[in-house]
Structure 1
Amino acid sequence: MKVIVKKDFDAMSEAAKEILLGIMSQDKRVNVSITAGKTPVKVYEKMIPVVKDSPDFSNVHYYNFDEIPVDGQEEGITISEIRQLYLTPANVSEDNIHKLTVENYATQDERIALDGGLDAMLIGLGGDGHFCGNMPTTTQFENETYKIKVSGEEPWFDSAMMEKGLEFVTMGAKSVFKVKHLILIVNGKNKAEMVKKVLQGPVDLAYPASILQLHPNFTVILDEEAAHYLD
């Protein structure tokens, strides 16, 4: 595990951008899985002017690692947000977008393997220690891509985002460990205690991201606030 601490959110985002573009610049097909949410916003803002309409990045294919479907909408929350933040403004070809859905999740790992595997995955850290859609109380570390049915009793249940009985899908720890380069970005003092737990505490299902300590090629990029409690 390599931990990089940068002064602030902008510098953290710049470091993540440089690592991703380095991987994406390889002279071969490159497969990357990227995250939605607030944390990667500046990473994408910095990448878009470089990637947009550039033939140098036509070799890059994109995958979402989790998905929450929405009734009445053709696409789920994750891929919709990734499109808004990055794929659409970067003018990524639809041929280079490979969607994980509730319907095709069972073949996700096989499809990625046939495509040559994921060269990189960019993820964030949940305030409760989750990664991707691997949540406390519903995660088992031996899972590949799997489906979760929400009972409404989970401690992370959010009635504003989901309904009881909702099914969503995520790549599990076993799938994530197949990624050639795993990149975690975290900013802000509100996640500093959890950063300490998942990076320097024991591997614990109560904080699913703690398993990532064991990934063979794991880069963590933090701002100073998120790194506050690290030894």
Structure 2
Amino acid sequence: MNIWTFDQEKDLNTTGAGLIAALLQSKPKAVLGLATGSSPVGIYNELIDMYRRGLVSFANASSFNLDEYVGLPVDHSESYRSFMNEKLFKHVDIKLENTHVPDGNAPDPDAECAHYEQLVNDHGPVDIQLLGIGHNGHIGFNEPGANLTGGTHVVDLKEETLKANARFFPSFDDVPKQAMTMGVASILKAKQILLVARGEDKAEIIRTALRGPITTECPASLLQCHPNVIVLLDRGAGRFM
């Protein structure tokens, strides 16, 4: 596990974008595992800038997102499909039909999860999986618990996760209570994992995940089992490393 801590946000973002761009330059048909939330936005901005400068192309790439809310209209501003369209896809040359996000409005959520898992397996393995980390150690929407589900599945979101996501919605009651997420086993199939964390409020969980015991009570700790993980931290998130 390679852990890099940066004093400047710009350096963190350019490093993350550079790793993804280098992959696309060497393997134009790369399979990208993408994430939402605040952690990857700066990296996406750098990738958009690199694309505009002619330094990288997504034309032959495909992507799979980690998760999506259950029951949120696809065109809702806070759906993860909308997030990806606005933060990356509409600004680069990736073909929208090659971008994949779970269908949170599928009539049979369990069947959709099985279909999405099969889709990832058919196109994969994912070449690089971008991850953030929740304050409770979740990756994707894999919440802490006595057990974890390996494949893509529907999850009931923990109170802590709901509170963290409430800032994106008019009220706490508007936050979706369920999500579809790739499982930890699905995530660990990626050839390389890029974990990004920012802010002092993530420092303790980063230490727990990367230096503590491997346990389902901190799903991110299972990343310690992966042979190729790069961790990008700002000075706040890396204060205990």
Asked if Structure 1 and Structure 2 have the same fold, meaning a TM-score greater than 0.5 normalized by the shorter chain, the answer is yes
Cα distance 1:53–1:94, how it changes in 2: closer, same or farther (>3 A)? farther
Between the aligned partners of 2:60 and 2:70, the Cα distance in structure 1 is 28
The residue that corresponds to 1:173 in the other structure is 184
The residue that corresponds to 2:85 in the other structure is 83
The residue that corresponds to 2:175 in the other structure is 162
Between the aligned partners of 1:161 and 1:64, the Cα distance in structure 2 is 23
Q: What are the Cα deviations for residues 182-220 of structure 1, in whole angstroms up to 9, with x where unaligned?
A: 100111111111111110000122221111111121111
The residue that corresponds to 1:228 in the other structure is 239
The residue that corresponds to 1:69 in the other structure is 70
Cα distance 1:6–1:114, how it changes in 2: closer, same or farther (>3 A)? same
Asked if the contact 2:58–2:94 (Cα under 8 Å) also holds between the matched residues in 1, the reply is no
- Once the two structures are superposed, the pairs formed by residues 29-68 of structure 1 within 5 Å of their partners are 29-52=29-52, 56-68=57-69
2:220 counterpart of 1:212: no
Q: How much is the aligned-residue C-alpha RMSD, in angstroms?
A: 2.3
Match of 2:115, SS state, is: helix
1:184 to 175, 195, 200: 195
Q: What are the Cα deviations for residues 123-159 of structure 1, in whole angstroms up to 9, with x where unaligned?
A: 111112111111123x734521111245xx7554443
2:151 counterpart of 1:144: yes
Asked if the contact 1:52–1:91 (Cα under 8 Å) also holds between the matched residues in 2, the reply is no
Structure 1 gaps of 5+ residues are none
Q: What are the Cα deviations for residues 32-68 of structure 1, in whole angstroms up to 9, with x where unaligned?
A: 0111111222111111022359684311111111010
2:210 to 179, 199, 206: 199
Match of 2:240, SS state, is: coil
Aligned pairs, number: 225
Asked if the contact 2:134–2:161 (Cα under 8 Å) also holds between the matched residues in 1, the reply is no
Residue 161 of structure 1 deviates from its aligned partner by: 4.6
Write 1 or 2 for the structure with the bigger share of helix: 2
Percent of paired sites with the same residue: 23
One-letter code of the match for 1:98?
A: H
Cα distance 1:148–1:46, how it changes in 2: closer, same or farther (>3 A)? same
> Runs of 4+ in structure 1 displaced over 3 angstroms?
52-56, 69-76, 139-142, 153-161
Q: What are the Cα deviations for residues 4-43 of structure 1, in whole angstroms up to 9, with x where unaligned?
A: 1222222111111111111122245211011111122211
The residue that corresponds to 1:100 in the other structure is 102
TM-score by length of 2: 0.84
Structure 2 gaps of 5+ residues are 107-111, 164-171
Residue 91 of structure 1 deviates from its aligned partner by: 4.4
Cα distance 1:229–1:82, how it changes in 2: closer, same or farther (>3 A)? same
TM-score by length of 1: 0.87
Between the aligned partners of 1:95 and 1:53, the Cα distance in structure 2 is 24
Between the aligned partners of 1:6 and 1:56, the Cα distance in structure 2 is 27
